[in-house]
Amino acid sequence: MDFLSLKETEIADKLKDGKIKVCVIGIGRIGLPTALVFAQAGAKVIGADISEEVVENINKGITYIDETGIEEILKDSISSGNFIASTDVPSAINEADAIIICVPTPVDNNKNPNYSDLMAVCRDLVKGLKKGSLVIVESTIAPGIVEEIIAPFIEEKTNLVLGKDLGIVSCPERADPGKIFECLKTIPRIVGGINENSSNIAAALYKAAMGVKVVKVSNPRTANAVKLTENIFRDVNIALINELAILFEKIGINIIETIDAATTKWNFIPHYPGPGVGGPCLPANPYYLIQVANRVGYIPYLVRLAREINDRMPDNIVNLIFEALNGIGKPIKGSKIVVLGISYKSGVKDVQYAPAERIINALKKYDTEIACYDPLFENEIVFGMLTELSVEDAIQNADALVFCTAHAEFKQLNLENLSKCVRQPAVIVDTRNIFDSNEVTNAGFAYRGLGVPIS
């Protein structure tokens, strides 16, 4: 079947009839849910991954990925014969009509994008690609990587004529951790192809498989720019609110009251202050664009400054902890500080670039006792520490409770009961504005909140 010559209606029919083969390379946080949604839609899917352990576990129906219902969907997809995992990437590519690339593209310690996994996939692509197939790059990359690196590499190493024998598109993933399946089936997808037919085929495939609207843009670089614009927009707005939180606290203004009131204006999109910006996306994505900008001799000041402001937030929280302890007459030296919430965001079990790690590492420089608890990481070794089994266990004889993640569980805590476990006087440092300061003080704690003036 020459997949690239199919019409839109044919793609939907052949997908349902199990006549379309899809290879998803990189069956991790994004790749596995993506593979399973295609399998549920009728595609014959091979999940290709270099990790033998991942492939072995997944073929047994076991995954570490923390998305609701994923194991059941995985088991159904395997038993239906629509999904299997394999470490033989070139063979999986050779069998497929559509090859979807979902490998990580992290930034290294020098903030340079690391495309090594993507380039390893390209080396497998040129071993396995067959005429009439379509390559779909979902990994988040800088604008231009497809047109200037991937496409020329494939053209050089194979006798495939791009646009005729082989289609290539960028279709950046837009699935939010903790709600990936919901996002895959609701959020419109952005597709940019090396030619119109590549875009049309990819659009038809995603529309049929995921039931979502597909927005076609001019080319792969534009599709990549859309994804980066979304996340850089978010990073910059968080940096703005973080900066205002610090300033407003000093001039007696409550940042949350201000945001809530500003949200009554139609063109104000609320963002909230926090102890820093963590996760696999926002801390990394801006650097793809910064690298491209530097290459063309343009300095993206605002993009860079937002990253600096957000990366400085953990240090600002450590200062707030110092002030909070001094406010109850306790030096940081010899105090017990408990970090409550280590995940980078609420409801997600993930500590990638988590602000809590940088706060804990900074506190370790002082002669303090540190404990941590997170409802998603009970009794696990994280950041070189054994996490506690409960809030009560963690806060015994504590001087300061530092809330770094706004997990729903924390909003239900009985603060009066907790105030009996700590070493009074004790203080709550609320970096996520989880609590009302009056409720905290009425419960027997002192209170300091990010962006909340000292009452």
> Which residues are the active-site residues?
227, 281
Neighbours of 276 (CB within 10 A): 26
Which CB sits closer to ligand SAJ, 207 or 358? 358
Q: Please, what is the minimum distance in Å from the beta carbon of residue 300 to ligand SAJ?
A: 19
Q: Please, what is the minimum distance in Å from the beta carbon of residue 384 to ligand SAJ?
A: 21
Q: Helix and strand tally (H, E) in the chain?
A: 20, 15
Q: Binding string, 314-353, against ligand SAJ, x = CB under 6 A? A: ------------------------------xx--------
67 touches 33 (CB < 8 A): yes
- Backbone phi and psi for residue 298, each to the nearest 5 degrees, phi listed first: -115, 135
Tell me how many residues contact ligand SAJ (CB under 6 A): 19
- CA nearest neighbour of 419 among 443, 401, 439: 443
Strand pairing class (385-386; 381-382): antiparallel
Q: Which residues between 225 and 284 bind ligand SAJ (CB under 6 A)? A: 230-231, 234, 238, 271-272, 274, 277-279, 281-282
Which CB sits closer to ligand SAJ, 28 or 177? 177
The DSSP letter of residue 62 is: -
Q: Binding string, 125-164, against ligand SAJ, x = CB under 6 A? A: ----------------------------------------
- List the beta bridge partners of residue 336: 369
133 touches 105 (CB < 8 A): no
Which CB sits closer to ligand SAJ, 154 or 313? 313
Q: Which residues between 61 and 80 bind ligand SAJ (CB under 6 A)? A: none
Which CB sits closer to ligand SAJ, 197 or 352? 352
378 touches 403 (CB < 8 A): no
Q: Binding string, 168-207, against ligand SAJ, x = CB under 6 A? A: -----xxxxx------------------------------
- Backbone phi and psi for residue 192, each to the nearest 5 degrees, phi listed first: -135, 120
Buried b (16+ CB within 10 A) or exposed e, 100-121: bbbbbbbbeeeeebebebbeeb
Q: Mind giving me the DSSP string for 228-290?
A: HHHHHHHHHHHHHHHHHHHHHHHTT--HHHHHHHHTTSTT-------S---SSSTTTHHHHHH
Which CB sits closer to ligand SAJ, 152 or 270? 270
Which CB sits closer to ligand SAJ, 271 or 423? 271
Q: Please, what is the minimum distance in Å from the beta carbon of residue 24 to ligand SAJ?
A: 16
Q: Please, what is the minimum distance in Å from the beta carbon of residue 394 to ligand SAJ?
A: 21
The answer to the question of residue 437 lying near ligand SAJ (CB under 6 A) is no
Binding stretches for ligand SAJ (CB under 6 A): 173-177, 230-231, 234, 238, 271-272, 274, 277-279, 281-282, 344-345
